[in-house]
Amino acid sequence: MKILVVGSGGREHALCWAIVKSPKCKKLYCAPGNAGIAQIAECVDIAAEDLDGVVAFAQQSKIDFVVVGPEGPLVMGLVDRLDAAGIKAFGPTADAAILEGSKIFTKDLCAKYGIPTADYEQFDECDSAKEYIIRHHAPLVVKAEGLAAGKGVILCRNDNEAFAAIDHMMTERAFGESGDRVIIEEYLEGEEASFFALVDGKNAVPLVSAQDHKPVYDGDEGPNTGGMGAYTPAPVVDDAMAKTIMDTIVKPTIEAMAEEGRPYKGVLFAGVMITKDGPKLIEYNVRFGDPECQAMVLRFKSDLLGALLACAEGRLNRIRLKWHKETALVVVMATKGYPGYYKKGMEIKGLDKVNGAENVVVFHAGTKAEGDRILANGGRVLGITARAPSVAKAQKQVYAAIDKIDWPEGFCRRDIGWRAIKR
């Protein structure tokens, strides 16, 4: 089969890394890809959100199957466009991708169908949002309504932080139109986890749990990012908890979406808070997590391409997935300044000392090649990933690999996996 992966981040490198191993994959393309992906796939210079360009390339190249990585083109309707062109694709339609595209839609769906989540109110006017804060007081969570590259959620420990978050989103328009409406939620006490399932419209197959590290600095300090590292599995999600999440959150959502005329196909990524009252949904994403995907593929023993095809073709009830029992952990190396302003174009050296190390893989995100040189070309740049018998051992392998990389302008958190190790 000819396969096209859409996207350019670490998640897409991880997907390509797994897909190219499948006996079903005869030719792999990626649009637009990055310097790491270019080593295993043919990269084509088409932006992920250039829907016309992606569809035209898929038609001209006789692509058999398209795997859409990021949320932007999914919310914009890329899968709908590919379906209309007769090209099979992995991912939800625009009607179903609204689960990530509109936090208000998802919260209202939860309220209508009794899916456990935090209490909330929505606002499209700055003053009324601040009046709510005065009445209810922090701690509260302020969320931009639309897509914000994983940065549109602000935990506010006091009222002044909540006022500032409202101004940041609604007055300063830090997230553009995505912040024209906001949600203010109750602060949930508990431990957060990421939970993934493949969904074919009717059937759902649980994948694995993970824990991401959103804040930029050690000790979960600093502003939120797209994710600075992750590990899988998350100890807080044992078999019993996974079943509870499937029974009370994932399956009711799939049934609700079908009832609403928005059948869901693709991977469903539930951010959940494990509270004393059980798991509650924080939010949904309609794609694999980044960086959770990088750790997940190192544990995947089955044919990933085969699983994604079964999902797209409605055959999930006929497959069984196999996993390595070990832990996998990824640490993100980012450019200094991220998630604020950062420079591009600095050379990254020493990757040859890491590549080939046993059970260690370097996934590229914001990179580009210039001759034989690898240059930083984004905020989150590399995902150094390892599989080992425990979180502590995987962490040790990853940081030993990072210490071989020569990139003075890069930085990373040095405590990824701390929750599991503390246990």
* DSSP per-residue string spanning 94-152: HHHHHHHH-HHHHHHHHHHHT--B--EEEESSHHHHHHHHHHH-SSEEEEESS--TT--
Task: Provide the pairing of β-strand 88-90 with 65-68.
Answer: parallel
The region, left, alpha or beta by phi > 0 then psi within -120 to 50, assigned to residue 328 is beta
**Domains within the chain, CATH numbers bracketed:** 2-93 (3.40.50.20), 119-186 (3.30.1490.20), 191-318 (3.30.470.20), 327-422 (3.90.600.10)
Dist CA 16 CA 33 (whole Å): 10
Decide: helix, strand or coil at residue 164. helix
Question: What pLDDT is stored for residue 362 in this prediction?
Answer: 97
Question: What pLDDT is stored for residue 330 in this prediction?
Answer: 98
* Helix (H) or strand (E) segment spanning residue 331: strand 327-335
How much is the pTM? 0.93
DSSP 83: H
Task: Count helices and strands (H / E) in the chain.
Answer: 15, 23
Q: Which residue in 163, 170, 274, 295 sits closest to 227, CA to CA?
A: 295
Dist CA 82 CA 142 (whole Å): 35
Q: Which positions ≥6 away from 39 have C-beta within 8 Å? A: none
pLDDT in tens, the chain (423 residues): 999 999 999 999 999 999 999 999 999 999 999 999 999 999 999 999 999 999 999 999 999 999 999 999 999 999 999 999 999 999 999 999 999 999 999 999 999 999 999 999 999 999 999 999 999 999 999 999 888 877 788 999 999 999 999 999 999 999 999 899 999 999 999 999 999 999 999 999 999 999 999 999 999 999 889 999 999 999 999 999 999 999 999 999 999 999 999 999 999 999 999 999 999 999 999 999 999 999 999 999 999 999 999 999 999 999 999 999 999 999 999 999 999 999 999 999 999 999 777 789 999 999 999 999 999 999 999 999 999 999 999 999 999 999 999 999 999 999 999 999 987
Question: What pLDDT is stored for residue 355 in this prediction?
Answer: 78
Q: Which positions ≥6 away from 400 have C-beta within 8 Å? A: none
Question: What pLDDT is stored for residue 182 in this prediction?
Answer: 93
Question: What pLDDT is stored for residue 146 in this prediction?
Answer: 87
Question: What pLDDT is stored for residue 358 in this prediction?
Answer: 78
Question: What pLDDT is stored for residue 206 in this prediction?
Answer: 96
Distances (CA, A) of 323 to 113, 178, 208, 303, 313: 33, 37, 9, 11, 22
Q: Cis peptide before 73, with omega less than 30 degrees from 0?
A: no
Q: Which positions ≥6 away from 257 have C-beta within 8 Å? A: 96, 99, 109, 263, 264
Return phi, psi of residue 17, to 5°: -60, -40
Say if CB 48 and CB 71 are below 8 A apart.
no
Say if CB 117 and CB 110 are below 8 A apart.
yes
Question: What pLDDT is stored for residue 152 in this prediction?
Answer: 86
Q: What share of the chain is helix, strand, coil (3-state, %, to 5)?
A: 35, 30, 35
